[in-house]
Amino acid sequence: MRAWGIQKWVSVSDPNCFTAFSCDVPQPGPHDVLVKVRAVGVNPVDTKVRAMQLDLLGTPRILGWDASGEIVQTGEAVTRFRVGDRVYYAGDITRPGCNAQYQCVDARLVAHKPQRLSFEEAAAMPLTTLTAWEGFERMNLQEGRTLLIIGGAGGVGSIAIQLAKQAGCFVIATASRTETAQWCRDLGADAVIDHRDDIIAQCNALGFSSVNAIANFVSTDTYWDMMGDLIAPFGEYLLIVEPKTNLRLGDPLKAKCVSIHWEFMFSRAKFQTHDMERQGEILHQASEWFDAGILRNTMTTHLGELSCESLRKAHELLESGRSVGKIVMSVSGHED
């Protein structure tokens, strides 16, 4: 099969940032399905994994943790899927990624693709949907509570706005440009403020001296002090970006009894937890909601066919910090 990977970190300005190569089609284990990949999405985690590869690899590492496609083979322990099923999934960061024509993935992490969505639209959704959904499951998001989403126009923020509205929250999203602010409103945000300006003053102007919950999908360090001042007593944080500095965990967070929820979508697969199948269940529920029109897909950029050049452009967009929604590529050229 054809695959696309990295051998060592190279700047996205270099046309040799990625390499195309041929390798054997992987063979599924007992709990795996072998998927003919039809489309892939790109996420910030791809750029972070690429940046960590400082030593030269003999065999390129295949990145990519957002895909849709068709099952062509199942492992002996798989009972929920059959050959020919169309599926979508994020997968396991400890295994080869989806930037290839075929990929093996644990069936417990997989769900049937939404029928209303194309392969490309479906490939945009798994990782961000799981990130927001898993995080919100551990929070006390009840109807009438106020949630501030920092980074509303990004991949995770775009689906988080929709899920929070389904929970009945009043959603305040941050965005810094006219087009990104409108994107957040179109997804259902009740109010949009600019994260480059005084967030607390803008919330006060909306009538909120505090908020019940904050989902920070951008930078834990940058907004740490502000969040401590704005969060209400017994409030909650949802965080996904590891801090680069030591952060104070005492007052005001201790005085307010603030709960902190970390979300890392790959935890279940990485640690082989007893509830790995929960990811497949979440994606199944999300699939039904996409088909019912309750959720909308967040694909905004289709870069054509998966290639070294389209991957380089995708990583360049993500590293610029100005991408909106999700970036997707199609996969073709299979040996059918």
Per-residue pLDDT, 271: 97
Rounded Cα–Cα distance for residues 217 and 319 (Å):
15
The answer on pLDDT for 142 being more than 70 is: yes
Describe the crossing of helices 155-166 and 126-137 by its angle, rounded to 10 degrees.
50
Rounded Cα–Cα distance for residues 333 and 336 (Å):
9
9-61 pLDDT, tens digit per residue, is 999 999 999 999 999 999 999 999 999 999 999 999 999 999 999 899 999 99
Per-residue pLDDT, 6: 97
Per-residue pLDDT, 321: 86
245-302 pLDDT, tens digit per residue, is 999 999 999 999 999 999 999 999 999 999 999 999 999 999 999 999 999 999 999 9
Q: Which residues pair with 40 in a beta bridge?
A: 67, 329
Q: pTM score, two decimals?
A: 0.96
Per-residue pLDDT, 289: 98
Residue with tokens 């409103």: 185
Rounded Cα–Cα distance for residues 33 and 12 (Å):
33
> Edge-to-edge strand order for the sheet containing 2-6?
19-22, 2-6, 61-62
> Edge-to-edge strand order for the sheet containing 211-216?
191-193, 170-174, 146-150, 211-216, 231-239, 259-262
- Classify residue 117 as exposed, middle or buried by CB count within 10 Å of its CB (0-12, 13-18, 19+): buried
Residues of the chain within CATH 3.40.50.720 domain(s) are: 139-262
Token reading at 218: 């951008």
Q: Which residues contact 315 (CB under 8 A, 6 or more apart)?
A: 12, 17, 42, 46, 47, 50
Rounded Cα–Cα distance for residues 41 and 37 (Å):
11
Average pLDDT, the chain: 96
The answer on pLDDT for 82 being more than 90 is: yes
Confidence of residue 335 (pLDDT cuts 50, 70, 90): low
Rounded Cα–Cα distance for residues 124 and 40 (Å):
7
Average confidence (pLDDT) over 315-324:
92
Closest CA to 125 of 148, 156, 92, 94: 156
Residues of the chain within CATH 3.90.180.10 domain(s) are: 2-128+267-330
Average confidence (pLDDT) over 68-73:
98
Confidence of residue 137 (pLDDT cuts 50, 70, 90): very high
Average confidence (pLDDT) over 118-134:
98
Percent of the chain at pLDDT > 70 equals 99
The answer on pLDDT for 336 being more than 60 is: no
CATH class of the domain whose range is 139-262? alpha beta
Residue with tokens 């610029």: 320
The answer on pLDDT for 203 being more than 70 is: yes
Rounded Cα–Cα distance for residues 148 and 12 (Å):
33
| 3-class secondary structure, 255 | helix
- The superfamily (CATH) of domain 2-128+267-330 is Medium-chain alcohol dehydrogenases, catalytic domain (3.90.180.10)
Strand pairing class (299-305; 2-6): unpaired
Average confidence (pLDDT) over 133-161:
96
Token reading at 78: 């798989």
Per-residue pLDDT, 322: 85
